[in-house]
């Protein structure tokens, strides 16, 4: 049974996690990539940042979007102590980011934009994530073995650090992986 409205779905993301989640949802899609400078106005609220970036990504595809296509763009940020925590630059940066997250709660906020020729909607999801206090050994082992350099906040909840380090979450687990799948499902049904 096909649960989804008839569209040619396009995922504009090179993230293997987003691709895996969308595939697991049962959507057949193609991947299209464009490099976009992820720059946003400084006066945005934390929940507005990933939505703005998802819409920015969508704008670059709109001129070539065809009838019957549904474009999915997304962005995810980690928000800690009133600051956006991005992807680490290198190993040392990844270790420092994990030290900052250690023993604290932070928010993972994803913004998603759905675009067709006739319509566009955007939404966000927030998940609160609590880390236990991480030892230097745990941090070093994780960064060395999993190399989380392509992940906001320098961690993947579905990896070793998530197994041993995350003591509590409130909200969508899959949002922390980069795509709020349940909310996406609902929004596609309404689209």
Catalytic residues: 75
Q: What residues does 114 pair with on adjacent strands?
A: 72, 121
Distance CA 128, CA 172 (A): 9
Q: Which of 36, 43, 53, 26 is nearest to 178 (CA)?
A: 53
Distance CA 191, CA 119 (A): 8
Q: Which long-range contacts (CB under 8 A, 24 or more apart) does 140-146 make?
A: 140/95, 142/98, 143/91, 143/94, 143/95, 143/98, 144/91
Quote the tokens at residue 109: 């906020």
Contact 78, 104 (CB under 8 A): no
């Amino acid at each position: 049974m096909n649960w989804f409205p008839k569209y040619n779905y396009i995922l504009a993301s090179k993230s293997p996690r987003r691709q895996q989640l969308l595939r697991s949802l049962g959507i057949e899609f193609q991947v299209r990539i464009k490099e976009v400078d992820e720059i946003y106005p400084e006066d945005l609220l934390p929940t507005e940042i990933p939505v703005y970036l998802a819409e920015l990504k969508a704008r670059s595809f709109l001129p070539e979007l065809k009838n019957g296509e549904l474009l999915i763009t997304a962005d995810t940020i980690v928000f800690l102590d009133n600051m956006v925590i991005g992807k680490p630059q290198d190993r040392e940066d990844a270790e420092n980011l994990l030290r900052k997250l250690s023993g604290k709660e932070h928010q993972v906020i994803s913004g998603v934009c759905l675009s067709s020729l006739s319509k566009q909607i955007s939404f966000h999801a927030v998940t609160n994530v609590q880390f236990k206090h991480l030892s230097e050994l745990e941090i070093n082992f994780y960064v060395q073995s999993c190399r989380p350099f392509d992940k906001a906040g320098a961690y993947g909840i579905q990896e070793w650090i998530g197994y041993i380090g995350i003591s509590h979450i409130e909200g969508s687990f899959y949002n922390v992986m980069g795509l709020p799948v349940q909310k996406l499902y609902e929004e596609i049904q309404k689209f």
